[in-house]
Structure 1
Amino acid sequence: MPNFTQIWFGFSVLSLLIWLVLIGGWGGFWRCDQQLDADSSINTNNSDPYPSICVVIPARNEADLLPITLRSLLTQTYRGSVQIIVVDDQSTDGTAAIANDTAKQTAKNITIINSQPLPTGWTGKLWAMAQGTRYAQTLNPDYILLTDADICHGSHNLQNLVAKAETENLDLTSIMVRLRCESRWEQWLIPAFVFFFQKLYPFAWVNNPQNSMAAAAGGCILIKTTALDRIGGISSIRQALIDDCALAQAVKSTGGKIWLGLSDTTCSLRPYPNLQTIWDMVARTAYTQLNYSPLLLIGTLIGMGIIYILPPLGLVLGLLLGQNYVTIASGLTLTIMTISYIPTIRFYRCPWWLSLCLPAIAFLYTLMTMDSAWRHWQGKGGAWKGRVYQQ
């Protein structure tokens, strides 16, 4: 019968093998090399107009951020037709009035739709998006941009998105915008959120038409109007809490070509000043990502333990007990883990030493996932801006 040290060494080797597979055969998720070009051009003749775009912004109590984010869209350098639709999702802070004032200050016109009461079977954001896209489709644009009210768009973002879509004939083009990373907790946890997302959905696999994996980032999605029509509109995903990935899956499963990458010029202004705000953001949908399955939850907790938490414990144990094989296996695993996290840390311009903290950060995310399941079992899952959504 194997003794304790042998069992620990076996788990250490298992963790090392998993990391070797992740680094070498998991879509290169850790490289952060799938990025939207910062300054692209659209190939068109003078006789061919630039593709037209309708921008749909669902907004619920966004009066603080909308003056900045809406202005970033109203002042784009894109030379084609751009029409902006703000869907006021029953705000109580004067969101609609702020949107109107911002448009007047830039001498631009926008359309404001007052959202109707939320029907049964819909999430609030998707219901607002559905109303906005239905109106947009009456204007017959070539593309519809779905974006959040907290997203500040780089001045060339529409140009770059359309150039990418036109050059590669994409049905859906999405970017994971740069999340705010200013506070101490944001620097600790936000880069890891992006790292884990890329591990869950390797962008290279998402962008491969031959691979069935699909994902998108809901803060900024450019979709062809014909592709949205083909999948039956937003109503086809009306019950999805993770609506961005559900939309990407719907498009790709019907033969559409999709692309997902990072952006260094378009960013989210949503602040996460403390641990609680980030915790709530993750716990809102973590258990949803596991399809509300207790078995998947248990598997995830075990997997997080083996992949992230066991290596530092093995290193300490190996050093204390003088077990060289455990020490070497755990040390190699920690080295690979740290190296894999460095590109994300650099992308977010965070201190390099945070790459050494991934095991501790992963432990916090594991606790958030457990809390997400607990909230679901208590009937409090999916809470967002005063609404609670349950599967």
Structure 2
Amino acid sequence: MGQTAPVSALVWTAAGSLAAWLWLLLGQGFFWRTDVRLPADRGPDRWPRGWPSVCVVVPARDEAAVLPAILPSLLAQDYPGRAEVFLVDDGSTDGTGELARELARRHGGLPLTVGSPGDPPAGWTGKLWAVRHGIALARARAPEYLLLTDADIAHAPDSLRRLVTAARSGRFDVVSQMARLRAESPWERLVVPAFVYFFAQLYPFRRIAREGARTAAAAGGCVLLCAETAERARIPDAIRHAVIDDVALARAVKRGGGRVWLGLADRVDSVRPYPGLRDLWRMVSRSAYAQLRHSPVLLAGTVAGLALVYLVPPSAVAAGAVTGDAAAVALGAPAWLVMTGTYVPMLRYYRQPLWLAPLLPFTAFLYLLMTVDSAVQHYRGRGAAWKGRTYTRPDAVPDEG
């Protein structure tokens, strides 16, 4: 009587990877779809009181290089209601504040106020300290909504109108768009679409908008926030130490019973270049370990998960082909195929060639290394650094009363 050959560890691992991909395909909120977008613009006749007032808050630190590409787009917003812009110069050394005033004089449009909050106190990130100052200035105008947008985000003329329409029509306290990041250099093409793909995998957009769902996230480059909700949730004071402030903001709003919507942008774009691998590496690694709450256990789990989901399928195919293990190939190939297929919509959204899709395991390996490096830099005291500032972990900061 013949004996059944033992199943190899490679086959079991490949089977686990395939099972994980089938679950991700069907059970993770259809994260791979890219059709969660703002609804079509609707007329003001739906609102008896007309268009609500909005104040735009832009924290800016050493942004003179990108400001000419983004500030005119904000000042030129075609918004039927009352709106104005508050740019907060967060200790810039490159003339950001004066350049903003000059651009406003040259282009006109919405009123612009430039403020400066001084250095952030202990327990605050620089960006949130600047946002706090901007919101304080804006509250003197009693706006109904606040648009929090980064200094590298360019908006189409109808951007503000469409954001407010979505918030009013859907009764959302937060409407946020994931700005389309620049993807022009070879490294940007390889890394940037995957960055958004991984984010959507962690925070499926459809779940965020679902009432009662615990999933909460926003994209910090473009967040329309109900002013009353911000005051009720104590934003930004309640999240003052958050390095990943957009996710923290959405969680604070949901904890207070608010509703959040997040989707991909059609006409909101980041102009900040990340031309080389070093630039992209710094972008990811500065906050990756903070995303894991500075936990070695979560770091180990993340590394193991990335390896199982993204690295095992091509490894099983290659090893199975070399060793003649047909079962490993039969399990690894469909897992790799599902992975590739789910990445195609994001590549199309970014207008990138589809031959990049099978290379996702290599990109995931880069992200694995960036995450580990983020932890290493944290324990060396250089973690969560941005433009000359390094932030401590939240539990190292004394609370305020």
Q: Taking structure 2 as the reference length, what is the TM-score of the superposition?
A: 0.95
Superposition map of 1:337-356 within 5 A: 337-356=339-358
CA deviations on 1:116-156 (whole Å, 9 max, x unpaired) are 22111100000000000011112100100000000000111
Q: 1:54 — aligned with what?
A: 55
2-side partners of 1:257 and 1:306: how far apart? 34
Shift of 1:5: 5.5
Shift of 1:232: 1.4
Q: 2:232 — aligned with what?
A: 230
Shift of 1:107: 2.5
Shift of 1:43: 3.7
Structure 1: unaligned runs, 5 residues or longer:
none
The amino acid of 1:87's aligned partner reads V
Aligned to 2:32, the other structure's residue is in SS state helix
Structure 2: unaligned runs, 5 residues or longer:
394-401
The amino acid of 1:383's aligned partner reads A
Superposition map of 1:122-141 within 5 A: 122-141=124-143
Q: Which moved more, 1:346-355 or 1:44-53?
A: 44-53
Question: Which of 202, 205, 227 is matched with 2:204 structurally?
Answer: 202
CA deviations on 1:180-230 (whole Å, 9 max, x unpaired) are 011100000000000000001011111111211100000000000010011
Q: 2:391 — aligned with what?
A: 389
Q: 2:399 — aligned with what?
A: none
Q: 2:219 — aligned with what?
A: 217
1-side partners of 2:105 and 2:378: how far apart? 44
1-side partners of 2:190 and 2:124: how far apart? 34
Aligned to 1:296, the other structure's residue is in SS state helix
Question: Which of 162, 165, 174 is matched with 2:164 structurally?
Answer: 162
Residue identity over aligned pairs, in percent, reads 44
Shift of 1:352: 0.7
8 A Cα contact 1:42 1:159, kept in partner: no
Q: Taking structure 1 as the reference length, what is the TM-score of the superposition?
A: 0.97
Q: 1:367 — aligned with what?
A: 369
Question: Which of 171, 175, 178 is matched with 2:177 structurally?
Answer: 175
8 A Cα contact 1:205 1:211, kept in partner: yes
Q: 1:71 — aligned with what?
A: 72
Aligned to 2:306, the other structure's residue is in SS state helix
Q: 2:303 — aligned with what?
A: 301
CA deviations on 1:248-300 (whole Å, 9 max, x unpaired) are 00001110011000002110001000000000000001001111110111111
Q: Does 1:250 align with 2:255?
A: no
Q: 2:89 — aligned with what?
A: 88
Q: Which moved more, 1:318-327 or 1:307-316?
A: 318-327
> Structure 1 pair 83/295, CA: closer, same or farther in 2 (3 Å)?
same
1-side partners of 2:262 and 2:361: how far apart? 27
Shift of 1:325: 1.1
Shift of 1:42: 3.9
CA deviations on 1:18-56 (whole Å, 9 max, x unpaired) are 00000001000001121124x512443686331110000
Aligned to 1:44, the other structure's residue is in SS state helix
Aligned to 1:360, the other structure's residue is in SS state helix
Superposition map of 1:8-19 within 5 A: 8-19=10-21
Question: Which of 194, 212, 218 is matched with 1:192 structurally?
Answer: 194
Q: Which moved more, 1:115-124 or 1:51-60?
A: 115-124
8 A Cα contact 1:42 1:162, kept in partner: no
CA deviations on 1:347-382 (whole Å, 9 max, x unpaired) are 000011000100001000000000000000000001
8 A Cα contact 2:128 2:240, kept in partner: yes
8 A Cα contact 2:146 2:227, kept in partner: yes
Q: 2:106 — aligned with what?
A: 105
The amino acid of 2:54's aligned partner reads I
1-side partners of 2:373 and 2:6: how far apart? 31
Could you say what the CA RMSD is over the residues aligned between the two structures, in angstroms? 1.4
Aligned to 2:352, the other structure's residue is in SS state coil
The amino acid of 1:275's aligned partner reads L
Question: Which of 327, 334, 342 is matched with 1:332 structurally?
Answer: 334
8 A Cα contact 2:128 2:236, kept in partner: yes
8 A Cα contact 2:69 2:271, kept in partner: no
1-side partners of 2:11 and 2:391: how far apart? 44
CA deviations on 1:329-348 (whole Å, 9 max, x unpaired) are 00110110100100000000
1-side partners of 2:104 and 2:216: how far apart? 35
Q: Does 1:33 align with 2:31?
A: no
The amino acid of 2:134's aligned partner reads G
The amino acid of 2:238's aligned partner reads S
8 A Cα contact 1:42 1:166, kept in partner: no
Q: Does 1:241 align with 2:270?
A: no
8 A Cα contact 2:178 2:265, kept in partner: yes
Aligned to 1:259, the other structure's residue is in SS state strand
1-side partners of 2:52 and 2:261: how far apart? 18
2-side partners of 1:294 and 1:96: how far apart? 41
2-side partners of 1:271 and 1:357: how far apart? 22
8 A Cα contact 2:44 2:50, kept in partner: no
Shift of 1:63: 0.9
8 A Cα contact 1:51 1:142, kept in partner: yes
The amino acid of 2:64's aligned partner reads A
The amino acid of 1:127's aligned partner reads W
> Structure 1 pair 3/373, CA: closer, same or farther in 2 (3 Å)?
farther
